[in-house]
Amino acid sequence: MSTTRTADKSRPTTTDEHAPLRMQLIDLLQGGQAHATFDEAVMDFPADLRGTVPPKLPYSAWQLLEHLRIAQRDILNFSAPPTGGYHPMRWPQDYWPQSPEPPTADAWNRSIQVIQADLKTFIALIENPQSDLFKPFRWGDGQNLLREALLIADHNAYHIGELIVLRRLLGAWNN
């Protein structure tokens, strides 16, 4: 004898017409479709080269990594402001660390962990069917969650590419 399960009538059934778009955005944010991922770009980066500024470049790998962390956190805070609201940062001084060297031995790994955690938090916003991708935020100049997701993906891809070029210039990229 077979049993057929019936839908739970107490649960409202909702359809998210934007679910396919949400999935595409998440794939884009996670990277790796057309280029190296963030994790691949930072994996096994030699500690002694993290603060090196190659000739004719204005920054080190540490400065790029921190810029990625700072900018992504700012976009996350803009998209889902913490208690107290969103507070704009000053460009460029608040977005780039001054020192080419990581301040501590574990700063590199901590920055990577924060970037990964913030991206997961942002992806959770995208995954939530209650998050309106198109509704302009009450703050800003008409930005919405879709625009901010595309901004993170674009910004991160650009700087991940720079990290890889920097690694190649330093002789630390074998892929």
pLDDT in tens, 127-139: 999 999 999 999 9
Mean pLDDT of all residues in the chain? 92
The predicted model scores a pTM of 0.89
Q: What is the pLDDT of residue 10?
A: 53
Q: Is the pLDDT of residue 61 over 90?
A: yes
Domains of the chain by residue range? 41-169
Q: Which CATH architecture has domain 41-169?
A: Up-down Bundle (1.20)
The rounded distance, in Å, linking the Cα atoms of 116 and 39 is 9
Q: Measured between alpha carbons, how far is 10 from 79 in angstroms, rounded to an integer?
A: 32
Region 114-137 average pLDDT:
97
Place of tokens 């096994």: 44
HSE-CB of 31 using CA atoms within 13 angstroms: 20
Percentage of the chain lying above the pLDDT 90 cut: 84
